[in-house]
Amino acid sequence: MDSLRAYLDRFVADTLDRCTRCGRCYDACPMTPYARELDGASPPAVVEGLLPLLQGAPGSTEAVAWVKVCTQSATCIDACPEGINAMLMLRAARMGALGSLGGEAQMSSTEDPLFFRKIEAFAATQLTPDEIEQWHRASPGERSAS
C-alpha cells in the first residue's frame, strides 16, 4: 500500500516539472478579490511564490494569501493549459503553509479541536442509539442493509 506522503511527493514532482508559471490558474480564481494582499498582484509571480510551499519551503506573502482564500471552486483546473490539477496544487500548498510538509507553518490551522466531539453530540440528538450503534460503530461484519 502507498502512503499519502508518497502520493503527494509524486504529485508535487510532476507539478514542478510541468508548471510554466503562466498564472492562468490564478486568473481564473473567483476568490482573489477577497485577499487585500493580492490587489494588483502579478499572476505569474503569485504562482512562482506558491511553488516552494509544495516542498515545505516558505512561500511568498501573496501566495499564502491566495491559499487562505481558496474555497475549492475548481475553476483553476480547466484553466491550466498543462493539464495540472491546480486545485490540488493549492491544496498541497495549503498543507505546506500549515507546516505539514516539513517546513515552518506560515498559517494556522482552522481545524476545530472539538470537531469530532461535536459530531458525536449532534449525532446523539439526531439519530437513535440503535442507529448510532449500527451506522457509526458496528464493524463491517456486523452490518446488513435494509
Contacts with another protein, residue ranges (CB under 8 A) = 1-8, 30-31, 34, 68-69, 71-75, 77, 85, 87-88, 91, 94-95, 98-101, 109-111, 114-127, 131-132, 134-137, 139-141, 143-146
CB of 63 to ligand SF4, least distance (A): 12
| Full DSSP string of 4-40 | HHHHHHHHHHHHHHH-----HHHHH-TTGGG-GGGTT
Q: Which is nearer to another protein, 30 or 42 (CB)?
A: 30
89 binds, among ligand SF4, another protein, none (CB under 5 to 8 A by kind): ligand SF4
- Contact yes or no for 47/27 (Cβ under 8 A): no
Per-residue burial over 97-117, b if 16 or more Cβ lie within 10 Å, else e, is bbebbebeebeeeeeeeeeee
Q: For binding to ligand SF4 (CB under 6 A), which residues are involved?
A: 19-25, 47, 79-80, 82, 84, 86, 89
